[in-house]
Amino acid sequence: MAETVVETKVETSLGTPWNVVVHDDPVNLMSYVTMVFQRVFGFSKQKAQHHMLEVHHKGRSILWSGARERAEFYVQQLHGYLLLATLERAE
Amino acid sequence: MLIRRLKENAIELIDIEPIEAELLRQVPGVCDSGGDDQSEARLFSSPADSSENQFLNDWAEYVRPELRHLFLSARKTVKEDLEKLSDIPGRLGRLVIPRTHSDAWLNALNQARLILATKFNFSARELSTHAAPKWFSRRDLVLQQINFYAEIQERIIDATEE
């Protein structure tokens, strides 16, 4: 007889938000970084360029804040494009 | 060399000089870090600080192999495309890249540039300098190679956005 397994998923989105941070890297091209932000986060070109320039001038930019699981997903996507991205607990 | 969009489904590289063809053929090989610790650390950078112990362990076990597979797959695609590069002595080369391969090219070119920049320890200032050196050491030639790959990345991005 088939056994029914009931999984309980802990809702983490109500907890502390997490930031997805991208750090400056002298190798990655500005146009490439802009393109990646558009693809991963669905940003407009203008918004993607704003974050790209923030990374370039300030050394880092917070691209997204929210639930941990989603933040981990975004960080993984960014690493796939070889960007320097980290997950940080929001202050 | 000219890089342009070819209809809807491809990117065409034409008038490829022999030296450009040689540099293109080096891309898959350059992407192989050869186990160099610093290059590996750059390709697989840390996704969090050391306080996220469990996350870092899970990342190393599950995500890192996926990333390695992605990077190897990009290199393989580029290598296979390069086998179709027409290379008749005395003539300029031509290469057609299916548009579905453009991400693999951007990824592999990025791998190559990151590894070269790491191995030869280029500073941000050096990487943004395009002035020709007075004499060409191996390091200067590598910087030219990095910039050549950067220009191809720019043209592929342009071609995919057209």
Q: What are the backbone angles phi and psi of residue A64, rounded to the nearest 5°? A: -160, 145
**Contact between chains at B47 and A87 (C-beta distance less than 8 A):** yes
Q: A15: which residues sit within 8 A by CB, 6+ positions away?
A: A68
B151 touches chain A (CB under 8 A): no
Distance between B19 CA and the closest CA of chain A, angstroms: 23
What are the extents of the domains in chain B? 2-161
pLDDT score at B104: 97
The answer for B124, left when phi > 0, alpha when psi is -120 to 50, beta otherwise, is alpha
Question: Of A16, A28, A29, A75, which to mutate for an interface test with B (greatest number of B Cβ within 10 Å)?
Answer: A29
pLDDT score at B27: 96
- What's the CA gap between B88 and B21, in Å, rounded? 11
Cα dihedral B64, A20, B122, B79 sign: positive
The three-state secondary structure class of A35 is: helix
pLDDT at A5 over 60: no
Nearest to B154 among A31, A76, A86 (CB): A31
pLDDT score at A80: 98
pLDDT at A51 over 80: yes
Domain A18-85 has CATH 3.30.1390.10: yes
Distance between A88 CA and the closest CA of chain B, angstroms: 7
Q: What is the pTM of this model?
A: 0.87
Nearest-CA residue of chain B relative to A33? B157
pLDDT score at B124: 86
pLDDT score at A4: 55
B72 touches chain A (CB under 8 A): no
Residues 25-64 of chain B whose Cβ lies under 8 A from any Cβ of chain A: 43-49, 52, 55, 63
**Contact between chains at A35 and B157 (C-beta distance less than 8 A):** yes
Cα dihedral B75, B40, A79, A63 sign: negative
Chain A hits for B49, CB-CB cut-off 8 Å, are 86, 88
Confidence of residue A31 (pLDDT cuts 50, 70, 90): very high
pLDDT at A37 over 60: yes
Please report, rounded to a whole number, the percentage of residues in chain A having pLDDT higher than 70. 85
Q: What are the backbone angles phi and psi of residue B40, rounded to the nearest 5°? A: -65, -40
Region A9-29: what's the mean pLDDT? 81
A34-40 contacts, C-beta under 8 A, 24 or more apart: A35/B157, A35/B161, A36/A78, A36/A81, A36/A83, A37/A63, A40/A74, A40/A77, A40/A78, A40/A81
**Contact between chains at A84 and B128 (C-beta distance less than 8 A):** no
pLDDT in tens, A60-87: 999 999 999 999 999 999 999 999 999 9
DSSP B23-57: HHHHHHHHT--TT-HHHHHHHT--SS-TT-HHHHH
Chain B hits for A87, CB-CB cut-off 8 Å, are 47-48, 52, 55
Please report, rounded to a whole number, the percentage of residues in chain A having pLDDT higher than 90. 80
pLDDT at A12 over 60: no
- What's the CA gap between B97 and B11, in Å, rounded? 5
Render each residue's pLDDT in chain B as its tens digit; 162 residues.
Answer: 888 888 878 999 999 988 899 999 999 999 998 888 999 999 999 999 999 999 999 999 999 999 999 999 999 999 999 999 887 777 888 999 999 999 999 999 999 999 999 999 988 888 887 666 667 788 888 998 999 999 999 999 988 876
pLDDT score at A11: 46
Q: What is the ipTM of this complex?
A: 0.89
Beta strand B10-16 with A18-23: parallel, antiparallel or unpaired? unpaired
DSSP B50-117: TT-HHHHHHIIIIIHHHHHHHHHHHHHHHHHHHTT-B--TTS-EEEEEEGGGHHHHHHHHHHHHHHHH
Beta strand A84-89 with B10-16: parallel, antiparallel or unpaired? unpaired
Region A33-59: what's the mean pLDDT? 97
Between A and B, how many residue pairs show a Cβ–Cβ distance under 8 A? 62
Q: Which of B23, B46, B47 is nearest to B113 (CA)?
A: B23
Chain B hits for A75, CB-CB cut-off 8 Å, are 47-48
